[in-house]
Each structure stands twice: as C-alpha cells, then as structure tokens.
Structure 1
Amino acid sequence: MNNLAATFMENLIFVLEFLGLVAAMVIIAYVVEKLEKKKNGVKERTLTTRKIAMIGVFSAIAAVLHVMDFPIPFAPDFYKLDFSELPALIGAFAFGPVAAVMIEFCKIVLKLLFKGTSTAFVGDLANFIIGCTFLLPASIIYLFRKNKKNAVIGCVVGTLVMTIFGTAFNAVYLLPKFAELYGLPLDSIIEMGHVINPAINSVNTLVVFAVAPMNILKGGIVSIVTMLIYKKISPILHNTK
C-alpha cells in the first residue's frame, strides 16, 4: 500500500511539473507576441476564432504524425522519431509562437487519448518541451521580420537550440526520471544503447550519440519541408488570394 501511495505521488508530482512547464512555454510565447504587437501597433487579439480553429486543425495533423513514430537505427527502441513538428512549425510561422505551443500541447493530449503512453509520460514531456525549444526560437525570429531569410535563420537557430537543450535535458532530467518512473535501472538503459553502438557506455555518450543526431535529423527535415511548402500554402492559411 505504501509503495502504491509513493508511486502515485511520484506520478502526480511529475504531471504537475509537466503542467508547470506547459504554462511556462505559453507565458513566454504570449509575452513575446504582446511585445511584437505593441511594437507594431497591432491591436488584434492573440487568439482569434480563426486562429483557434486552425490550431485545432494543425494539432490533429500533428497528432497523427506523432502516432506514426518509428525507431531509429542508432538509438535504443524507446527513442522514436516523428515529424509532428512539421504542422506545428507551419502553424508557428502562420499564427505565431502562442499557436506553436498550443499545437504542441494539444498534439500530446490527443496522442495520449488515442495511444496512451509507453514511457511513463516521460517521452511525452520530452516531445513537448524539446519540440517547443525548436518552435519558439524559429517562430520568434520569424515573428519580428517575416521574410525567407529570417525563416531560414529561425529554423537553423531552432534546430541548434533543440539539439543542445534536448541533449542536456535528456542527460540531466529525462533519462533519470524515466529510469525512476519506469522502474528500469539507468545501467540497463545505457546497455541498450551500448548494444547498438559500442561507443555508448554512459549517460553522456548515450545522449551525444543518440539524442543529438536524432534532433539534428528531425530539425533539418522539418525545416527543409517547411521551407519548400510554406510559401505555397501561406495564402490559404491567411485567407488571402
């Protein structure tokens, strides 16, 4: 009974931490958008009815792509690659940082409703937070000057921030938390990586040889596809000819 209560409290604390990080991402995005609107004298609400509707559409597409994740050959099986940040980045460029964070959060909620979690929610937190570290820099840079050059710069910066933050966050918090909540010794997780790549023999080498290249790959592919299609679909998203 005591073990059950302890497990419940651990999961409750983790969920509260998750929600706290969600709130922090929303606040950062909201403050940046308000500053940009104030600078340009724009009085439009941050979330209009049209924006909310489009956030719903992009969240649904992102959730489908998230469910269609797949393992990668250079990382343990619990690391999965997906391209759900693609609709989120398009939504971020079209509607701003707040929309980006809301798409990411709604995507995770929809994924949990339809598929559940296989990583004691740690993977879901990782996907949200690390996704936001890609989307927020990219959308904020593009927000203040909307041109192709800034879009490219934003994508490059976003990919770098996601890679650096994702690597550190996995090493310091996510992997130890996954081991704690899933009841799997950290040494066993490292051994999974070692079987795939003999150079992996610690938490640091695991994140360097598995997490970092995965985030670079994801950021690069999502950025390239967005650059190729955004200009073509932008008039549709903004309801202009």
Structure 2
Amino acid sequence: MVTGAGSGIGRAVALTLAAAGWSVALAGRRAQALDETAALAGDGATVLTVPTDVSDAHDVAALFSSVRDRFGRVDLLFNNAGTFGPPVPLEDLSYEDWRSVVDVNLNGAFLCAQAAFRAMKEQSPRGGRIINNGSISAHVPRPHSIAYTATKHAMTGLTKSLSLDGRPYDIACGQIDIGNAATEMTGRMQTGILQANGELAVEPVMDAADVARTVLHMAALPLAANVQFATVMATAMPFIGRG
C-alpha cells in the first residue's frame, strides 16, 4: 500500500513496486491522479485505487478494509502522504494551516500505521513492513517550515516506536529521509529557495525514481532484516553543513 500515490514520490514508488511484481493499493485524495498512476503501471500490473484522506479515521479504515477484501493481507505500507504548508514566517502561520500539516503528516501517518499494524499482527503468516517517509527535515529545518519540520521530527519517533512495538509480531519498520527529489513539492528548489542565511539559491534535485529504488530494496528484504534509517538525497544539496 502506498499513500500519496497520485503524484511525486508516491507515484514513483508505486510504479516501481508494481513493476517488481507487487500488488499495489494506491491511496490518495485525488481519484483522477490515482487513476493516472494506475494507467502508468500498465495492464499487466495488479493495482487497486482507493481515494483516501489519510487524516480521516473513517477513510483510513475503509482503505484497509478494501485492501484486505481485494488482496487478503497487507505486507507493506509506504507511509508517504504529506504536505508542506505555506512557507511563511512563524508568526504569520495560522493555526488552521499548522493543523492541516499536522493532520496529514503526523495524524495521517499514525492512522495508517496503526491500521497496518493491526492487519499485520492478525494475518497469517503474521507480520509485514512499514516504511515511513521522513525527510531531510527530520534532521535539520529549512526557514519558514516549522509545521513540516515538527511533523517530520515526530515521524522519527513514530518509526522508533513502531519498530519496538512491532518486534513481537514480526512487523519491521524503517524510515527513508529524502532530500530534494524532483516532484511538484520541490519545484521551488530549481528556481531559488530561501536559505538559512537569508539568501535565495537554486538547489540541485534528483530523480524520484532514485528514491523508489531505495524503497524497493527496503521492501524486498526478509522480515529478519531491516533498514532502520536511510537517507537518499541529491548529492550536492546543502544538507551537510546546512544552517
């Protein structure tokens, strides 16, 4: 299962998994975008599209019910859905915008992880894998990113708790921290984005397919092995030494 599968990293990962022979459930808010991802996977792929708002507990329950009805089990969750929010100074960020980012990035990730955990614990054979999409921002912030950065730091705590709580049930959990994959969300990188010193600078990006190959590697491991944390980033981006 891939959340946020209608575009960007989610789409790239979904297509890579499908090409590798996985049966893939595509979740996201926009039905048309999910259908486009399914079409790109090709006629030979086994995909299920389920329009879902991950911040809505009822939507998440319906998503997992649909997946179990179609495929019988859940072996992998790529917890990817996320939003950045408006890049405004902290004092100008409305509570509504703060809450919107937290609802998707953190509450949505929790709801999906909880539902996956329940399914993986109960199914036979037992177990499965959860891969959380963290971010470079799980380590260091950008200016004007307090909501996004706070949720991505929280994602690391979610990953560690899932790893610990999943041990008795053969549930593995890892996190991939991504820097500057070329997606709609990172379009500003290529035109100039605010740096910690107040300057604007163009930043290099990498192909989202490079991220997808890493997720595929993590997903294909036996449950006895786990990539706990992986960082995949554009080589020359300002991460080491950032800030």
Does TM, normalized by the shorter one, top 0.5? no
More helix by percentage? 1
Which one has a bigger Cα radius of gyration? 1
TM-score by length of 1: 0.28
More strand by percentage? 2
